[in-house]
Structure 1
């Protein structure tokens, strides 16, 4: 018999938060009575969309296709995100669940737009001036289901601002558990990630966000236990405090190379693509220019080449992948002197070993088990075993 499972992703929850969440009763109870790993390595770049795709596919970004949060759209000031199921190039956990006859639900889970999910409210933004947020969401997911949720709980919303959005998602989760009882449910919370970006990893606002997550988790956990659900909790990446942002676009413009490359920020890392296939001499010129920038600013730690894509898992179409030095991040914007004060206090996107996160599954019939160190790509297999599906 298949078991019911709810998977909760607390965006940006990581090993650095363990000291605080072990002092929160619901988090502590679940962690102390679960199959768990407190040493989960995410994928590179350590962004929300690539890692959520890896959780549900068991594959690296260069395999599943979600290589960044946003797409390469050079002529748009606000590129679209990888919102749609069609962007993922392989099977997902919710596809396999459907094939095995399970009912599915997703609430603001990344890259689920137009997915074949029974109850689906995808994470998607109104990214054009003429678009309306509710209409965009309705047409990318389950229309009648979402209409019911918006009519019942939209009073909690203030656009997509936090903590309002996660309060809305909490009520949607509880309603769905009680009234729809899906076999497999995915829920994505972003309050913590938002506070880390704006205020930094050690801020009061981050501590308050974790307290709000504790209250959300308590309510969902109590409801899930009454309905005999297993509950999985995970993070997708950590966050690193930064002080400065780097504009490679400005540097390449001043060096006459901007017409050769397309620079794409991943916040805590960055891609460099060729605009068109170039000769070895052009590629070498770009590389040497980066080496000069690295040497004289000390703001770049590594310059990875296409040869590193297989091992690290980033987009194999990129000519280079840049890893910043501690305290730095990247921007697509133009900055006159190449480096400026960052508008964010913390970012992610850097190498996976800098962003260890956690994973656990609570089942009242299973004893506490430490999985030790695992990779985020292993989570799909663990969840399939829990659901008894393949």
Structure 2
């Protein structure tokens, strides 16, 4: 099979977006006559970082080790994210490509900072000090990419308070694809996800974001063409999750504080805890400082059951650690997983009110979000075109765990422990 592949992850792209996308030149080049999966079943919780690790390892959350976008850092309302590859417990498709002697490139792909990738520009930022981005990126990029391309494009990054990661990343990817001709390139763009969080599920802002993504696809396609490798390149568009409308924010840490399970100082800063709610968007992960403390465990379970029985709190289900592992292959440093009803999102605040509704003046949450059960709402898609994919073939659905086995088959690389299946029905040579 051909050993060139460009994968673009369009964060939060869903099937409903394809009507517009199919009319735009960048998407159209891949969609017309290409292969397609209409619905890709993701994993729980539907969060960008855990899912993108699935999309580069072919392993579920319990095995690859990334259970949330953010690290557990009780007391910090904006924790660090899982940026570094060291947090991933299993090999990636980049590792498999290297074993085969292939060259690799990743741009803004979650959980790749400091990875062994030939041309690496990871997704990373500085939540605390906002120091010079060159310091942050030099620590986390591949040396040759940083030395050759960072300064050329850094003016596009912006940085504080809101880095323009997409434009910066695509600009670097164009150069790397054109000049270095990597065998495997994986690029992540967030514009559609950001638009949905801020504006709702559908509407003009989301359409504008899809058009912006299309302009990036056009540039990447042109870069491949200028590299002289267009006809031997397989183009793949993937997505990670959909969104659901949010109209209520629930702060379980307020309950824990009221019950004496969170302690704060005179300035309201958290100083210690026995139980803590770690947000995962439309679900929550509940930590115990001492999992062996049976009295605290009983108290926490009573609080959670009370919240579940109180309709205003909007809790649909509570899962123990074992239940989460068995039902969702989800594991982490938490003892319980809390699932909200439709419209409920969880935050980590420990001051204020437990429930803040959309119409309240102090409501400050996004319009839509994710972290929900993956079967709910609009679904991600997979689009592919190239010499190793059949023309004009569509399948109804697959698991997101099926993506890496398919990528590996196209690249001709071997990976152990994959949990999905190769989508042979999409390939010219199954």
**RMSD across aligned positions (CA):** 2.0
Q: What aligned pairs does 1:214-233 form with structure 2 within 5 A after superposition?
A: 214-225=214-225, 226-228=228-230, 229-233=233-237
Aligned residue pairs, count: 390
Q: What aligned pairs does 1:269-308 form with structure 2 within 5 A after superposition?
A: 269-280=283-294, 282-296=296-310, 297-306=312-321, 307-308=323-324
- Of 302, 318, 340, which aligns to 2:334? 318
Distance 1:246 1:370, change over 3 A: same
8 Å Cα contact 1:36-1:361 kept in structure 2? yes
In 1, distance between residues paired with 2:147 and 2:110? 20
8 Å Cα contact 1:260-1:276 kept in structure 2? yes
- Counterpart check, 1:204 vs 2:204: yes
In 1, distance between residues paired with 2:215 and 2:408? 28
In 1, distance between residues paired with 2:260 and 2:16? 42
In 1, distance between residues paired with 2:411 and 2:380? 23
Matched residue, 2:375: 353
1:162 CA drift (Å): 7.2
8 Å Cα contact 1:309-1:316 kept in structure 2? no
In structure 1, list runs of 5 or more residues that go unmatched. Answer: none
In 2, distance between residues paired with 1:285 and 1:55? 38
8 Å Cα contact 1:5-1:387 kept in structure 2? yes
Q: What aligned pairs does 1:155-234 form with structure 2 within 5 A after superposition?
A: 155-159=155-159, 164-225=164-225, 226-228=228-230, 229-234=233-238
- Counterpart check, 1:372 vs 2:376: no
Q: TM-score, normalised by structure 1?
A: 0.94
8 Å Cα contact 2:291-2:297 kept in structure 1? no
More displaced, 70-79 or 193-202? Answer: 70-79
In 2, distance between residues paired with 1:42 and 1:194? 19
8 Å Cα contact 1:303-1:322 kept in structure 2? yes
In 2, distance between residues paired with 1:237 and 1:217? 20
More displaced, 348-357 or 26-35? Answer: 26-35
8 Å Cα contact 1:241-1:346 kept in structure 2? yes
Where 1:334 maps in the other structure, the secondary structure is coil
Where 2:285 maps in the other structure, the secondary structure is strand
1:280 CA drift (Å): 4.6
In 2, distance between residues paired with 1:344 and 1:232? 30
1:71 CA drift (Å): 0.8
Matched residue, 2:12: 12
1:28 CA drift (Å): 3.4
Matched residue, 2:139: 139
8 Å Cα contact 1:162-1:194 kept in structure 2? no
Where 2:338 maps in the other structure, the secondary structure is strand
Matched residue, 2:386: 363
Distance 1:57 1:160, change over 3 A: farther
More displaced, 124-133 or 52-61? Answer: 124-133
In 2, distance between residues paired with 1:233 and 1:249? 39
Matched residue, 2:427: none
Matched residue, 2:277: 263
Matched residue, 2:126: 126
- CA deviation string 1:65-118 (max 9, x = no partner): 000011112244432211111100011110111111101011111111111111
In 1, distance between residues paired with 2:161 and 2:406? 33
More displaced, 86-95 or 17-26? Answer: 17-26
In 1, distance between residues paired with 2:147 and 2:200? 36
In 2, distance between residues paired with 1:343 and 1:89? 32
8 Å Cα contact 1:113-1:124 kept in structure 2? yes
1:279 CA drift (Å): 4.6
8 Å Cα contact 1:65-1:88 kept in structure 2? yes
In 2, distance between residues paired with 1:328 and 1:231? 37
Q: TM-score, normalised by structure 2?
A: 0.85
- CA deviation string 1:353-373 (max 9, x = no partner): 125201122114632222321
8 Å Cα contact 1:243-1:342 kept in structure 2? no
In 1, distance between residues paired with 2:73 and 2:352? 23
